[in-house]
Structure 1
Amino acid sequence: EDTIDLIKYQSRRGANVQLGEEQNSIHDAANLLKSNETSSLKLALEYEKTLAEEAHMIHKKISHANNEEHYDPDVAHYLDEKLIEYQSGQIRKLSGCITNLNDIINEANTKALGVQLFDEYLAKVE
């Protein structure tokens, strides 16, 4: 949904949107098959961090008035409101989930029940 919104915004601004496969992939299919709860959350966190870094790089490029060639305050404002704020919230949320899950997994007596309750919590939150 966010991707479609961004593509629509770019189209309104006259940009040419090119869709393709991610060049610097964080993971591959073999690693996904070996994943557990913690590694899955860490993978999601790395993905969100990558998106945030890319958004910050674009924001830095277009938000400096001394760089007249790329200066676009409207796009900088859009990135602030729609992308960067959202990404920082997602990173904070995933970091908290990883911390909580690590605490649950480290308790040998309650690990299985704790993971199940954590999964139920995530289902309710999302």
Structure 2
Amino acid sequence: MKAIVIFFALVAVVSCSDECYRDVVATCSNTLSKQQGVLTQCDAKYGAIENLEGDLQRFANSLLYRSFDFLLMATHYGNYIKNRAGFEKLFRGLSDDLWDDGINTIKYMTKRGARMNFNNIASELEQEKPSLELFELQAIGRALDIEKKLAKDAFDLHKAASGHKNDHHDPEVAHHLEEKFMEKHRDAIRTLAGHAKDLSSLLDGPDASLGLYLFDDYLQK
């Protein structure tokens, strides 16, 4: 009786086997395929990662693109003319954070069997003409807008992965976004909003130059 149960269990496993099993069987029974090593279905993809792959590629590219934006802003404020070490530190930190997020997104995609396409760039980034010669308050305002846009992109991706878009339901992608991205960028948005408010008040005071100097000194700490 026990042997019969085991037999039917094995039959069930074979009958319910996925595409990788059939690829292996076909490869082992075909000399040409065996030589070429064709196992097209034996990958790490599962869930809806294939349908979310393009969105993840665009998101990763946006993170890297904006990282360079912040790096250029840091360079602008770190030169001998501007000499704003505090603003340089602020924007370099934002640049490093987005670079890490972009690289981690790419690593996550490869863990799920997806591929990175550096040519898959959001249309608004391709059409945008960067303006980096900014005054300090305007630079913080632009940084805040960038962080909010990236947060919105993450929310849209999370919405799709949470099942609000046909064939895109993938709770593991949604969890990754929540754990690795959203909380950190919530704090970045709150910090930049506070900086914008504080600097605006200082520049509105009796000595704007002194206020700007003190604010830059504060950012260096």
**Could you state the TM-score of these two structures normalised by the residue count of structure 2?**
0.50
Q: Alpha-carbon deviations, 1:88-116, whole Å to 9, x = none?
A: 11111111100000000000x22111111
Give the aligned length: 120
Q: 1:77 to 1:23 in 2, by over 3 A?
A: same
What do residues 51-99 of structure 1 show as CA deviations (whole Å, max 9, x unaligned)?
00100000000112x7562111111011011111112111111111000
Shift of 1:27: 5.6
User: 1:15 is matched with which residue?
Assistant: 114
Look up the match of 1:116. 213
1:43 corresponding residue in structure 2: 142
Structure 1, unmatched stretches of 5+, are: none
1:71 maps onto 2:172 in alignment: no
Give the distance between the partners of 1:91 and 1:117, measured in 2 at CA: 22
Unaligned runs of 5+ in 2: 1-99
**Structure 2 residue corresponding to 1:32, chosen from 132, 144, 168:** 132
Alpha-carbon distance change, 89 to 110 in structure 1, aligned in 2, over 3 angstroms: same
CA gap of 1:90–1:72, structure 2 versus 1, over 3 A, is same
Whole-angstrom distance in 2 between the partners of 1:59 and 1:22: 17
In the TM superposition, what whole-angstrom CA distance separates every residue of 1:19-73 from its partner, at most 9, and x where no partner exists? 24553139634x322x101110011011101100100000000112x75621111
What is the percentage of aligned positions where both structures have the same residue? 36
Aligned counterparts of 1:121 and 1:2: Cα–Cα separation in 2:
26
Mapped to 1, the partners of 2:143 and 2:202 lie a distance apart of 19
